[in-house]
Amino acid sequence: MNKVDYFCERDPFAFPIWQQARVGIAGAGGLGSNAAILLARAGIGHLTIADFDRVSVSNLNRQAFNLDQIGMLKTEALTHNIRKINPYISLSEHPVKLLRDNIPEIFSEVDIMIEAFDKAEQKQMLIETWLLAFPDIPMICASGLAGYGRSEDIRISQSNYLYIVGDQVSELKAGISPIAPRVMIVAAMQANLCLELLVKRYQG
């Protein structure tokens, strides 16, 4: 197999745009791991992925990791899994805790940012940091994905370059993790919007 064979039957207009694109992913959990794999399959040229955490057994209900990866850094496990799908993607991994101080530097070169954190406090910190540092670079966030069913309640709201995917109401219940299908719907909508925004930006 070579690169030309691998990237056969791609959209002749959109695919070259995606190949040139750099996408940031903050968090490699349920949202981040699934969104990263979708973007890698679609043909995004470069992903910058940051997460300080390690894979645990409780992650396997929704995150794109395997039993034999428990204990590994999520960034390491995810880049390994992505390269098994798409060997031609460029990846940079940052196994660090994202803070107000390091976010602008780690993601300074991305064209679009995907917020894929778990905790609301972290989401708020990242969004505020991003809007102050890079108000003109699109950021796609997630809020409200707990539970099952109600797929049609998941929507996208927008203000300038900030996008929020989710139902914006579903709170986690104590002791119950998010569940794979609804997490993956939101991750897929984040990835799908990312692809769309890259093409729209190119078209002006």
Partner 1 sequence: MQITINGNKVDWQEGMTVRDALTLMNYSFPMLVIKLNGVLVPKADYDSTVIPAGAELMVVHLISGG
Return the residue of 124, 155, 200, 201 that touches partner 1, per CB under 8 A. Answer: 124
Q: Smallest distance, Å, CB 190 to partner 1? A: 10
Residue 138 found at the interface with partner 1 (CB under 8 A): no
What are the distances in angstroms from CA 24 to CA 31, 143, 165, 177, 203?
A: 13, 18, 16, 25, 21
d(CA 47, CA 116) in angstroms, rounded, equals 13
- Tokens encoding 138: 């699109």
Buried b (16+ CB within 10 A) or exposed e, 78-106: bbebbeeebeebebebbeeebeeeebeeb
Where in 59-88 is the site for partner 1 (CB under 8 A)? Answer: none
- Would you say 17 or 26 has its CB closer to partner 1? 26
d(CA 20, CA 23) in angstroms, rounded, equals 10
Q: Smallest distance, Å, CB 94 to partner 1? A: 17
Residue 30 found at the interface with partner 1 (CB under 8 A): yes
d(CA 33, CA 74) in angstroms, rounded, equals 9
Q: Smallest distance, Å, CB 186 to partner 1? A: 8
- Tokens encoding 8: 């056969």
Residue 18 found at the interface with partner 1 (CB under 8 A): no
Residue 135 found at the interface with partner 1 (CB under 8 A): yes
Residues in contact with partner 1 by CB under 8 A are 27, 29-32, 116-121, 123-124, 127-128, 131-132, 135, 141-146, 157, 159-160, 162, 164, 166, 168-172, 178, 183
